[in-house]
Every structure is written in structure tokens, then in C-alpha cells.
Chains A and B, each alone.
Chain A
Amino acid sequence: MTATEQAKTRRKPGQIVEMVWDPITRIIGNLGLYTKIDFANREVTECHSTSSLFRGYSVFMKGKDPRDAGFITSRICGICGDNHTTCSV
């Protein structure tokens, strides 16, 4: 084994840094990311995402006129409303 290959495989002592972005900016929706990153070994050791919003679309759409579905589901997302409309048809 050459020295360079050894350096590649040998783990450096971990320097785990906790990094949190909650809320995430520049995108819509309630999104948070909770991570632990080992920068020395270039590894994300833990990552959780959370969406801290419940509106209940699948609940309040029950019993509504099916032709209204597209008008309602388009309000799921302010960026890609048309996708949700199309998917509801």
C-alpha cells in the first residue's frame, strides 16, 4: 500500500459539528434541517428533516364536490400549485 492510499482509508479523528437550519430560507414551506457533520472525514453522520406545519388537506377535502378538488389542491403550494391541480384531476 502506498502512503497516499493509506491516507485515504485512515479515518481522521472525528470533529462532529451540529448544524441546524430551521427554518430553511429561499424556499417556501415550513422546513427545518438538523444535521451532524463530520467535516474532517467529509461525512454527514446524522440528518433529520422536519416540516412543522399541519393543515389537513386530506381531511377537509372529504365529502367535497370532486370538480372542486383542483381549485383546493392548487393551494397546497404557492410555487407548484398547478402540479397539485393536475394531480387531483
Chain B
Amino acid sequence: MTATMPQPHGFDEMHILWISEGMSCDGDTVSVTAASQPPIEDVVLGLVPGLPTVHLHNKVLSPTLGGEEFLAPFRAAARNELEPFILVIEGSIPNENINGNGYWTSFGNDLETGEPLTLNWWIDQLAPKAWAVVAIGTCAAYGGIHAMAGNPTGCMGLADYLGWDFKSKGALPIVNIPGCPVQPDNFMETLTWVLYHAAGSAPPPPLDELLRPQWIFGKTVHEGCDRAGYYEQGDFAKDYNSPKCQAKVGCWGPVVNCNVPKRGWMGGVGGCPNVGGICIACTMPGFPDKFMPFMDMPPGGSLSSMIVKPYGAFIRRMRGITNATANREPKWRHNRKALTSGYNPRWRP
């Protein structure tokens, strides 16, 4: 680096304290192991230029023997003895005010009393000390499946628990990366941005009012869907074996903020509606209740698909004719003893 280039003033090291003990299935951790933009291994091994040295503390990906050895950095952070760190929360936050005499979920035990330490205790301890707080997956972001109607735990998203105006020590709001599970590269890309920000070489990531990364969740599934052309031509699947638009068999894509059809799932392959899965709106704050029963046509879908139908049928016919023309080569491409391309040697510009 030349002397004229100022060194960014940021952190050289960053711990990631990742607690998946919320109401979750740990599927976000599993999902992130499939990331390639960048792979989590590369971030941990320091192969991404310009990032702080990352110390990852995640239960599934931990090289420790478990138990106290694994809990040590979390306990240290709670005692103010480990910083700086990014707190990653996976799973929704139960309401421990309504737990009767028990608790809903815990993470290790109190060393003195032997009583379980609840997830909520850990959040209360660690969130105010964290340089940044990240909610991975729809459960942690907004509540998700475990917060559906009729749930007994009263669980909620992290922002519902900490407050939507929460600011971390690094002056960042909670960073929500929804998805059930989270799309692997969506998470790693956002985490990498936060890490570059920690290194002092990037501005804070731009978030929308629901604290999602704008560049990821700013467009709808429908706008990026492989099958959107079928929709426009009013050509709809009647069952789940069809390659056509699934609006009539339950796809919520037109009203859902998610980039998965564009990005695919692993290495660009997959992407719910592209590969025949109806979009069940798994990234949305209203998930799942507002989209159930999933396999019924969305109410708005019947109107829009009805309107698009006559237009689509007509335009499909017209395009069929143009397509037939487009599939024929021009007539001057032949091997006869004459040039019929219209070439005129006397023509000058």
C-alpha cells in the first residue's frame, strides 16, 4: 500500500458470537455452510482481503468439545472481557414472562446455581455490549413459524424484543436477514459488508424500514422469477408438474420481497418457483399466517390472473406468428450463382 493511501481505522479482530438457541431449527446455520459468495470457511480462514480476523463461535461449526469450552467466549463477553463482537441470533425470542415456573429455551447453566440460563438472559447481557447485532433467518427477524397463531411460547422477532429503534455499540440498528431458512449467500454477503464496515473500509449496510438489506430485499420474487414470462402471457400451471407460472396453485411471488429466484440457492442452482416450488413468502414479516393455506391461490392472484388472461391469450397468438417468422433465415442465404442480398456496389454514404 502506498503512503498516500490512508489506512482505514477499524478493528483488526472481530469475534462472532452466534447463538442458535432461539425458537429455531438451526437450519440457518446449516444453510450458511452452503455459501460461496463468500464461503464462511474463507471468512474464518482470513482468505477474504481486507476483513478483520474473524473468530467464529457457532455451536454446529465449533471445533471445541462443547459444554464449558464452547461457552467460554460467551461467558467472557457477558463479563465484559471479550470485545469487539458481533452477536448473531438465530431463532425467535420466547416470552419468558409467561413461562409459568419453567423456561422456554436455555443456553448453558448458571455456574453458581446450576439453573439454566435462558436465551433472553443472554440477549439482555450481550446485546448492549455487541458492536453489531444480526438476526439470521425469519424467526429471529420477525418471529416466523414458531410465532404463528396458536403458539404457546409467545415468541417474537429480535427487534420486537429489543425494540425496533435499538442501536448497537457500533451505532448500527439490528441487521435482519430473513428467509426460512436464510439464503446462504444473502447472509454471508451481508455479514461480509458488516465486517468491512467494522474494518473501517465500508459505510454501514443500507437497510429498509424492516431492517433488511435493501439491495437484497428491494425486489419481489415475481420480478426475478424464471416463470414470469408465462404469467405475462396468461399461461398458468394447473398442477405442480408444470413448468408454467404457479400463480393459480399457490405462488405468492408477486407480493413477496426476496431475491431467491434470481440468485438461486446453492451455486446459482435452485430458487423456489424456478424449480417448481410455490413461493410461500418465507422471508416476510407476515409469514406464515398471512399466506396460509399455502396451496390455495392468493386472493389477489385470481383477479390479476383473470385480467391478464385475455391479453395473454391474444399476445401469445401474435408472438407465435412472429416467432415462426423469426425462426426462418432470410431468403438471400443460398448457394445459387447469383447474389440476392441487395448489395449495391455503386452505393456511397
| Least CB separation from B153: chain A residue | A56
Chain B interface category by residue count? 35 or more
By a CB distance below 8 angstroms, the chain B residues around A78 are: 24-31, 181
Interface size on A, residues (CB 8 A): 33
Contact with B along A51-87 (1 / 0, CB 8 A): 0111110011011110110011001111101000000
Among A22, A25, A67, the residue within 8 A (CB) of B294 is A67
The yes or no answer to A47 lying at the interface (CB within 8 A) is no
| Least CB separation from A59: chain B residue | B152
Find residues 27-69 in chain A having any chain B CB closer than 8 Å to their own CB: 27-30, 32, 52-56, 59-60, 62-65, 67-68
Q: Give Cα distance in the complex from A71 to B31, angstroms.
A: 17
The yes or no answer to B280 lying at the interface (CB within 8 A) is yes
Contacting pair A60 B21 (CB below 8 A): no
Contacting pair A23 B105 (CB below 8 A): no
What number of residue pairs across chains A and B have CB atoms under 8 A from each other? 125
Given A72-B288, A77-B25, A78-B24, is A25 in contact with B65 using a C-beta cutoff of 8 Å?
yes
Q: Give Cα distance in the complex from A24 to B146, angstroms.
A: 23
Contact with A along B86-114 (1 / 0, CB 8 A): 00000000000000000111111100000
Given A23-B67, A59-B152, A75-B180, is A68 in contact with B294 using a C-beta cutoff of 8 Å?
yes
| Least CB separation from B26: chain A residue | A28
| Least CB separation from A30: chain B residue | B21
Give A contacts to B, CB under 8 Å: 20-30, 32, 52-56, 59-60, 62-65, 67-68, 71-72, 75-79, 81
- Listed A/B pairs (17) with beta-carbon separation below 8 Å: A23-B59, A26-B60, A28-B20, A32-B67, A52-B106, A53-B105, A54-B153, A55-B146, A60-B146, A60-B151, A68-B292, A71-B288, A72-B288, A75-B180, A79-B26, A81-B25, A81-B27
14 new A-B pairs (CB below 8 Å) besides A28-B30, A78-B24? A23-B107, A25-B65, A28-B59, A52-B105, A52-B107, A52-B116, A53-B104, A55-B104, A63-B150, A64-B150, A67-B295, A68-B294, A78-B28, A78-B181
